[in-house]
Structures are given as structure tokens and as C-alpha cells.
Chains A and B, each alone.
Chain A
Amino acid sequence: MKATEFAIVAQGVRKHYARGTADAGLNGFDLEVRSGSVCGLLGPNGAGKTTAIRILSTLLALDAGQAHVAGYDVATQGRRVRERIGLVGQYAAVDEILTGRQNLVLFGRLHHLAAASARKRADELLERFALNEAGRRPVSTYSGGMRRRLDLAATLIVPPAVLFVDEPTTGLDPAARQEVWSALRELVGAGTTVLLTTQYLEEADQLADHIAMLKAGRVIAEGTPDALKAAMGGNWLDIVLSNRTDAETTKGIAARVASGELHIDNSAHRVSVPVAAHTSALIEVASALHEAGIAPVDITLRRPTLDEVFLHLTADSPTPAEVFV
């Protein structure tokens, strides 16, 4: 059965909101996430990331299409789905007045653990997420990173088969972001399927082994981070010049090997060229520059960054490029 291979399957999911509401709809959303993998759903604000998570976690009804999570239909078997998922929403959804431990015991009781097991499980999770000291304090005294960790712990009281994490590090400082990342990585090791939304390409690159790029309620590109970078037309050749006077000549040389449009960064005196034939392009450009008497400060062959992939794919061109790899 498909369910064993894919933990999440969405086909042509549509969700429309009345005009004037801030919520982003979905417009034929397709996604398949392999069991035990981490999928990063990447997109700008308003692309529909949160809507997708809310539909897949049964919080929101879909208008059209089909979605299965852990083998069950989100529209008709909501309760079965809810028995198998964990949801970490955009806000740390924990009770701020209660202590961290009381929160975990409450959610343990709601997972129908006996009082003693709920307390035991709460202590285990506090230990695991380095919150034992803070466990006795009200959550209102926690830092943003601590709240997020408690939020994660609350979803793991009964380990879910599928975990949804909506923008886990939005609004966190870099140290807190690292804390949350390492907590998430640990989960992934345990074999849980994770669907993670993020605005940060770095985050998707760090955590996900499969990335789906969302724009205006549709997945416009998906694949491994490597495949997505390759889909951008191979590698880039960066030529950094010591001054601007050589720029025109350099552009002429670079255009000979370019497989796409050049990117010129005037303030950094940098010419970036997408190249298909990697090594030969590097040699050709280097020798041509040498013959022209231009000595670049730096010349590097590199993979495109996910930012470049993302900007390339989400650029508001009349016919958006569609890449499926």
C-alpha cells in the first residue's frame, strides 16, 4: 500500500478564503513525503505554508482534492490521523501560567497516560530537552528557545508517526535557533516523518532531505537540496575584480561560457556566470582574462545557493519556470 511508502500524500488540494482575509489559500497543492524523511516546505509569507500544515493536521477542512497522512484520509478519518500526528504550530502553544512540567503532565493526561506515567514521561522529556531546572518555573519566565523546546517536548509525549512543524525558528535569535535545530535533528534520527515549513533556506538546507518550494498555494519545484541547486543550470563562476574599469571586458569574456543570464554585483565588483561545462569554462575564462591583462582578486567555481534557486523560481515572471526533479 502507498501509505507505507509515503507518510504524507496530498493531491490537488484546494482551499479558498474569502477576499480580504489575511489567510493564504491553496491552489492545487501536491506533495508526497516518504516515511521517515524530513520534507522542508519552503516559501515566502502568504504562499500557503501554514494553510497546508493546518489541513494536513486536520485543523482545517479542504475545499477540494485529497490528502492522506499516515495512511488515513484527513477529511474523513480525522481522529485516526490525530492519533498519529504531532503539531508544533507557529506560536509556542503552551500554557504560559503553568510550569513547564505541569504543561507536559496536562498533555500526557490528554494522551490518556495514567497520572504516574504522565509525570514520569514529563520528567524524561524535561531532561531530554535540557529543561529540568526550568521545569518548575512558569512558562512565562522562559526564553523563546526554551518555549519552543517545551512545545516540541509536548508533541513527543506519545511519539508521533508524523510531525508537523510550522516555522520553528521564526523570531528566535541565532543561539536559540541552533538549540531548536539540534532538538529537531534528534527527532529525525528516531525515524519520525517530519514536514517542516520555513522561510529560511538555510534551515531547509540544514534539516530537510527533500524540499518543496511553494508559491501562491502550489508546489512549483521539489527535490533534494542538491537536485534543486543543479536544476538552476549547474554551477556558478564568480569573478571578483579589483576595480570597475575591467568590468566590461570581463563581462564580454564571461558571456562566451555563460549558460544563462549573468549577474553583476557592481558594488562588490563581482560578475557571476552560470556555467554548464564547469572545469573547461573555468580554464577558458581564466586564460582569457590573463591574455586581456586582467588580474581578478578571486575566481571561484561554486554550486548555486538555495537563495538563488528560490529567487529564480519565485521571480514574478509572466511564465514562471517549473522544475520538477
Chain B
Amino acid sequence: MSTTTQPAAMRSPFARFGWALADSWAIALRDLHHWVLQPGTVFLGWLFPVMIVLMFGGLFGGAISVPGGGGYFEFLMPGMFATAMLFGLETTMLAVTTDAAKGVTDRFRSLPINSAAVVLGRCIADMLNSVVGLTILVVAGLLLGWRWRGGLIEALAAIGLLLLLRFALLWIGIFCGMIAKRPESVAAVQILVWPVSFLSNVFVDPTTMPGWLGALAQWNPLSATAAAARQLFGNPGWGGEGWIGQHAPLMAIVWPALLVVIFLPLSVRAFRTLAR
């Protein structure tokens, strides 16, 4: 029928895998075009965590005593890096819901491409978005006087753990986006993100909270990544209480892994049930 495409059956599994990657990249590239065409929206998304840093660091920083001494920015920045990863959840969910509501997801599904490419493309685009956002936040932190005190390897490991958290949250975002049906539902998640970030060790030391609330904050996956990042960056305030406080780097791997194990299959299932 056409000379431009070759029926999939004639391709080797290796070539099909290559096409799946090429398709994923084509779909991810669409988001990069969005950055160019709507720079304001994307840039605001990247600047928002910087604004929160200035707000908390400048307005409340003086009144909060940092465990183990040191400046509040030293304590705040690693936590804000983790929080910025959490904010990424909204980006993913909004993109997934909008595509489903506008019929773009159905158009992708009606093409002779591997359906995993649709999800993988989203994955690549959002991870790139977070890498740029994190870079901007790191630069802002350096300008405000935050420094990492450890070695470069440890600093890169911290960045790795932060991106691992983002990767885990990606699947929550895809799952919530799939079941949300309407872009308006994203507003609910935008509100819920706040209690999750406050109920952690990002802004204040959980030992200063009432006992049960402190325990809840310490077990928050966000706290594990924030504490592990503080430890690896050599910033103050990482020595929490109890087992959970002592094993932050371990939990910064276990929590995201657990979230992926739960939400990746749920996302795949939600994608499949579009056909039911």
C-alpha cells in the first residue's frame, strides 16, 4: 500500500525495539517543542521552587533553628530539591490528563506504534524537565550561599537519589492522570502536594513536632530523600531520631523503588483499561 512504511511483521525484534525508542523520542520531542513555544509557562514551573526557597529562607529562616547549627539555606536547599521533585508530579499528571481529554492519547493509540512509547515518551520529557528545573534550583542555591561540603561523587549520588524520587513520582502522576479524566482534577493534587511537603523534614526538624506527627514526617518518602541528600551534600540537620532517621540513604532508595513497584503496574493497567 505504501512504500514509506514496512509492515511490523517483517521487522526483526531488534528493529522493533529500535523503533519503540525512536517513537518514544518523537513523543518526548513534542514536549521540548512546547518549551520553545510556551517558554513562560515552563519557566514559571522551574522558578516556582526558587520562589519558595526565597520565601522560606528569607521570611521564616531567621526564626527556625537548624539542628546542628549552620545557616537555614544549608538546611533548606536539599529539602527543596526533593520538594521540587514532588512538584513535578503535577506536571506529569496535567500532561497525561490533557492528552487523554483532548483525544491525543487515542490518536497515538490508533497509530501502528508500540503503546509503551506513549508512556515512555512522557517519561523522557518529564525527566528532562526535572533535570533542567533541578539545575536552576542548584544554581539559585549556590547564589544564596548554599554549598555542598562533601565530595563530587557524593553530590552526584545525591542528585541521583533526587532524580530517582522524581522517577517514582512520575508513575504516580501517570496513574493519577489516567484515572482523573479531566484536567480540572489536577487542582486536587496541586492542593495535596502542600501537606505532603510540610509534613516532612524539608522545612523544619521533625523532632520539634509533637511525637506522632514527627514520626509521620520522618516516615514521609520526601523526608528520606531530603535527609539522604543533606547527608551526601554534607549539609546540617540529617541526624534524625530512631531507625528511620539513621537509615535515610537506604530509605531514599527503598521508598522510590516501592512506589515504582506499586504504581508502574497500576499505570500500565490504567493504560490498558482504556481499551475496555
A contact residues vs B (CB 8 Å cutoff)? 57-61, 79-80, 82-87, 89-99, 102, 106-107, 109-113, 117, 138, 154, 158-159, 161
**Which one of A82, A90, A102, A113 contacts B111 once the chains associate, using CB atoms below 8 Å?**
A82
The answer to whether B103 has its CB under 8 Å from any CB of chain A is yes
Min CB distance B91 to A, Å, is: 14
Having A61-B276, A109-B23, A110-B27, one finds 13 other A-B pairs with CB under 8 Å, namely A60-B275, A80-B7, A82-B110, A82-B112, A83-B8, A84-B1, A94-B104, A97-B33, A106-B27, A111-B4, A111-B112, A138-B37, A158-B4
- Option from A85, A87, A92, A95 in Cβ contact (under 8 Å) with B30: A95
Given A60-B275, A158-B4, A161-B1: A110 and B111 within 8 A (CB)? yes
B112 to chain A, nearest CB (A): 4
Does B12 belong to the interface (CB within 8 Å)?
Answer: no
Contact A113 B1 (CB under 8 A): no
* Contacting residues of chain B (29-67) with chain A, CB-CB under 8 angstroms: 29-30, 33-34, 37-38
Which single member of A57, A80, A87, A92 contacts B9 (CB below 8 Å)? A80
Check if A83 sits within 8 Å of B103, measured CB to CB.
no
Residues from chain B with a CB closer than 8 A to the CB of A110 are 23, 26-27, 108, 111, 113
A59 lies within 8 A of B111 (CB)? no
Are A98 and B106 also in contact (CB < 8 A) when A111-B4, A112-B5, A112-B19 are?
no
Give the interface centre of B5, B6, B19, B27 by most chain A CB atoms within 10 Å: B5
CA distance A184 to B236 in the complex (A): 67
User: Contact at B276–A60, with CB atoms within 8 Å?
Assistant: yes
B247 within 8 A of A: no
Q: How far is the CA of A113 from the CA of B7 in the complex (A)?
A: 13
Instruction: Tell whether, in the assembled complex, residue B106 and residue A93 are in contact, meaning their CB atoms are under 8 Å apart.
Output: yes
Docked CA distance A56–B111 (Å): 13
Would you call B116 an interface residue if the criterion is a C-beta within 8 Å of the partner chain's C-beta atoms? Answer: no
In whole Å, how far is A142's beta carbon from the nearest beta carbon of chain B?
A: 14
Task: Tell me the nearest residue of chain A to B121, going by C-beta.
Answer: A110
List the A side residues contacting B33 at CB < 8 Å: 97-98, 102
**Which single residue of chain A is at the shortest CB-CB distance from B109?**
A59
Q: Within 8 Å of chain A (Cβ to Cβ): is B102?
A: yes
For A161, the chain B residues whose CB sits under 8 A away are 1
Q: Could you show 17 A-B contacts with beta carbons less than 8 Å apart?
A: A59-B106, A61-B276, A79-B112, A83-B112, A84-B1, A87-B107, A89-B107, A93-B102, A93-B106, A95-B30, A97-B33, A99-B37, A107-B111, A110-B27, A111-B4, A111-B5, A159-B2
For A96, the chain B residues whose CB sits under 8 A away are 102
B5 touches A158 (CB 8 A): yes
A222 to chain B, nearest CB (A): 25
- A113→B4 contact, CB < 8 A: yes
User: A90 vs B106: C-alpha distance in the bound complex, in angstroms?
Assistant: 11
Interface string of B16-31 (1 = CB under 8 A from A): 0001001100110110
Using a CB–CB cutoff of 8 Å, the interface residues on chain B facing chain A are: 1-2, 4-9, 19, 22-23, 26-27, 29-30, 33-34, 37-38, 102-104, 106-113, 274-276
- Are B112 and A89 in contact, CB atoms less than 8 angstroms apart? no
> Complex Cα distance A111/B30, Å?
15
* CB <8 Å contact, A117 and B102: no
Q: Which residues of A contact B26 (CB under 8 A)?
A: 106, 109-110
User: Across the interface, do B5 and A59 meet the contact criterion of CB distance under 8 Å?
Assistant: no
Report yes or no: B37 in contact with A158, Cβ–Cβ below 8 A.
Answer: no
Residue of A111, A113, A138 contacting most chain B CB atoms (<10 Å) = A111
Taking CB atoms, residues of chain B closer than 8 Å to A59 are: 106, 109-110, 274-275
Q: Are A106 and B30 in contact (CB under 8 A)?
A: yes
- B190 CB, min distance to chain A CBs, angstroms: 20
Q: Is there an interface contact between B37 and A97, defined as CB atoms closer than 8 Å?
A: yes
Would A83 and B110 count as touching, CB distance under 8 A? no
What is the CA–CA distance of A302 and B116 in the complex, to the nearest angstrom?
A: 56
A83 CA / B34 CA spacing, docked (Å) = 28
**Is the pair B276, A98 in contact by a Cβ cutoff of 8 Å?**
no
Distance between B22 CB and nearest chain A CB, rounded to angstroms:
8
B20 CB → nearest A CB, Å: 11
Q: Are A91 and B9 touching (Cβ within 8 A)?
A: no
**A113–chain B nearest beta-carbon distance, Å:** 6
User: CB < 8 Å: which of A57, A61, A109 contacts B110?
Assistant: A57
Q: Which residues of A contact B5 (CB under 8 A)?
A: 83, 111-113, 158
Chain A residues lying within 8 Å of B34, measured Cβ to Cβ, are 97-98
* A80, chain B: closest CB distance, angstroms: 7
CB atoms of A58 and B110 under 8 A apart: yes
Query: Complex: how many Å from CA A13 to CA B139?
Result: 60
Known contacts A60-B275, A80-B9, A159-B2; is-contact A89 B103 (Cβ 8 Å): yes
Cβ contacts under 8 Å, A95 to chain B: 30, 104
Taking CB atoms, residues of chain B closer than 8 Å to A90 are 103
Q: How distant is the Cα of A96 from the Cα of B29 in the complex, in angstroms?
A: 15
Q: Are A91 and B102 in touch, CB under 8 angstroms?
A: yes
Min distance, Cβ A72 to any Cβ of chain B, angstroms: 11
Q: What are the residues of chain A within 8 A of B107 when measuring CB–CB?
A: 87, 89, 93-94, 107, 154
Q: Which residue of A lies closest to B8 (CB)?
A: A79
| Contact of A87 with B106 in the complex, beta carbons under 8 Å | yes
